[in-house]
């Protein structure tokens, strides 16, 4: 089922957007639709598959090209997440089955020298609430729970796994005044065969 796209979300305030140095993403329900395909090979090796939206990947690349770091923090461990992060050049990938996301993000920010107020987090569900309550730009996907929507400073319309990350990346870059420049740079690179 393809998730609906509702009207355009409200703009992110320019000051908030320009302050962001790091965007942290949840995975299940944000980068994916929240579904997990579990199975096993003939030899009994466990297999987990996730579906990632390709447009989200380009949104992440455009953020990185604009100088905004991107990190992944998730409460599940999955090789699929590590593979997708490697494809996108995301070095900060934290998979912790205890879902102790606040501790993980706090430690990462301290190590990177980035403040909570310089951080955006895109989430969808209850494990994301502690981080959303601390960051400078709390953001929610279109299908986020009511508790997450209540604390979000920005809420998208697209559902997780269906372009929600791209929608946020575009909104953030537009608010910073970087979107058009990043798009044109991307097109020039493709035309040049880079």
Instruction: Flag whether 3 is in a domain.
Output: no
Instruction: Flag whether 6 is in a domain.
Output: no
How far, in Å, are 21, 119, 190 from residue 184 at the CA level?
22, 26, 10
The number of domains in the chain is: 1
Three-state secondary structure call for residue 154? strand
| Mean pLDDT over the full length of the chain | 94
Instruction: Flag whether 76 is in a domain.
Output: yes
Instruction: Flag whether 48 is in a domain.
Output: yes
* pLDDT for residue 6 is more than 70: no
pLDDT of residue 153: 96
**Enclosing domain of residue 49:** 14-191
Instruction: Flag whether 7 is in a domain.
Output: no
Taking only the tens place, the pLDDT of each residue in 72-119 is 999 999 999 999 999 999 999 999 988 889 999 999 999 999 999 999
Nearest to 17 by CA among 166, 175, 150: 175
Instruction: Flag whether 132 is in a domain.
Output: yes
Taking only the tens place, the pLDDT of each residue in 29-41 is 999 999 989 999 9
Taking only the tens place, the pLDDT of each residue in 42-74 is 999 988 899 999 999 999 999 999 999 999 999
Q: How confident is the model at residue 120 (pLDDT cuts 50, 70, 90)?
A: very high
Instruction: Flag whether 2 is in a domain.
Output: no
Instruction: Flag whether 4 is in a domain.
Output: no
Q: Residue 132 belongs to a domain with what CATH number?
A: 3.40.50.1000
């Amino acid at each position: 089922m393809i998730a609906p796209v509702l009207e355009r979300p409200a703009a992110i305030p320019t000051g908030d957007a320009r302050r962001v140095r790091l965007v942290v993403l949840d995975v299940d329900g944000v980068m994916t639709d929240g579904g997990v395909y579990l199975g096993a090979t003939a030899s009994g090796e466990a297999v987990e598959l996730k579906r990632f939206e390709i447009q989200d990947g380009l949104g992440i690349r455009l953020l990185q090209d604009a100088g905004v770091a991107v990190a992944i923090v998730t409460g599940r461990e999955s090789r699929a997440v590590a593979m997708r992060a490697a494809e996108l050049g995301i070095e900060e990938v934290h998979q912790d089955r205890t879902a102790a996301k606040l501790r993980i993000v706090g430690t990462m920010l301290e190590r990177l020298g980035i403040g909570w107020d310089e951080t955006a987090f895109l989430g969808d569900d209850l494990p994301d609430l502690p981080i959303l309550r601390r960051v400078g730009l709390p953001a929610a996907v279109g299908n986020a729970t009511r508790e997450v929507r209540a604390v979000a400073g920005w809420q998208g319309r697209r559902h997780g796994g269906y372009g929600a990350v791209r929608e946020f990346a575009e909104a953030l870059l537009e608010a910073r005044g970087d979107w058009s420049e990043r798009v044109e740079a991307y097109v020039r690179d493709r035309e040049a065969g880079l």
